[in-house]
Amino acid sequence: MSYVGPEFDPPPPHRSRRTPTIVALAALVPGALLGWVVYEAVGSPGGSGSTTGPGGAAGTSPSTDAAAEMPASAAPAASGTDDGKKPAATPSTTATSPGTATGPLAGKVVVIDPGHNPGNFRHSADINRKVDIGTGLKECDTTGTSTNSGYTEAAFTLDVAHRLRDLLQRQGATVKLTQDGDRPFGPCIDERARIGNAAHADAVVSVHADGSASGNRGFHVILPASVHAGAADTRPVVAPSRELGERIAGNFVRVTGSAPSNYVGDGTGLVTRNDLGGLNLSTVPKVFIECGNMRDGKDAALLTSGAWRQKAAQGISEGIVGFLRG
């Protein structure tokens, strides 16, 4: 979730103490323990904080959007929101894709929230507009980050979202995307939350990638804090959201071989936030996942690999399936 602030200029198209604690993983991410042990046993080409996956090492760093989501000590880049919303005047263009009626997830509704929109950078005035997230006001959305070579977070999140949608539909789920690159900008973070709420989703996952400093690596899953302020009341969904996040984190480790973040989460791959509108305003179980740090060369090698993105989608999908099937 790159928390690149409104000042972020999209790059030109052709520019060229962390020892993860096994105890913490066992306690907070039961499913991740086995994958992390395997990771440590196999080793990582990137050394501490890196993992091996198709195309290279994996990891994540707080995206520029993550500046908003992570502790101040985390990433240098950006401002942020997590999920973005469109102005109320713009009709939503999201679509629902029903799964096969006979699959194990038949009757389940999953909303996938691809972070940012490829057109956001052309609409700075619109995405800079403040919206109410319960605990305060925040920008409608941000542009997202990119790799040093110009591969954007918006392109990454849509690609992973499409792969994830296909996997979940094969399980019989009905899948809705909050945006499919089919609108000029947004949606804003409050609308993204409303889309999941209106769908009565059984699970919502917001897909992002960080834009932090080089050397910050590893994925992390962001969980909603207990918030009760203004229009926000996450209390009923904190527990199920944590379960969803733990399932996703464990399966993401196992399938991708990626290590939990070496800069937030104390090696667990889990971070709790109370300043993200997409989480604060959700009335259904919802988490964010920062799949890797686009500003780190080793992570970027993974994020730009189609084979690795398929593994990322698979790991997220298996976490969702495990959560929905109990």
- What is the set of active-site residues? 290
Q: Report how far residue 42's alpha carbon sits from residue 49's, in angstroms, rounded to the nearest whole number.
A: 13
Residues near 2 by beta carbon (within 8 Å), at least 6 away in sequence: 63, 64, 65, 66, 77, 78, 115, 116, 142, 144, 145, 146, 153, 208, 209, 210, 211, 294
Chain-centre distance for alpha carbon 188: 16
Distance between terminal CA atoms of the chain?
27
How far apart, in Å, are the Cα atoms of 137 and each of 164, 215, 301? 31, 32, 35
Tokens 């954007």 appear where?
A: 152
Q: Which residues pair with 130 in a beta bridge?
A: 139
Contact by Cβ (8 Å): 83, 115: yes
DSSP state of 262: S
Alpha helices in 171-305 (DSSP H): 189-198, 238-256, 277-280, 297-303
**Angle formed by the axes of helices 238-256 and 306-325, to 10°?**
140
Q: Which residues pair with 287 in a beta bridge?
A: 205
Q: Report how far residue 116's alpha carbon sits from residue 142's, in angstroms, rounded to the nearest whole number.
A: 7
Contact by Cβ (8 Å): 145, 295: yes
Tokens 């590893």 appear where?
A: 218
Q: Report how far residue 296's alpha carbon sits from residue 206's, in angstroms, rounded to the nearest whole number.
A: 21
Contact by Cβ (8 Å): 63, 78: yes
How far apart, in Å, are the Cα atoms of 191 and each of 25, 141, 213, 249? 34, 11, 30, 26
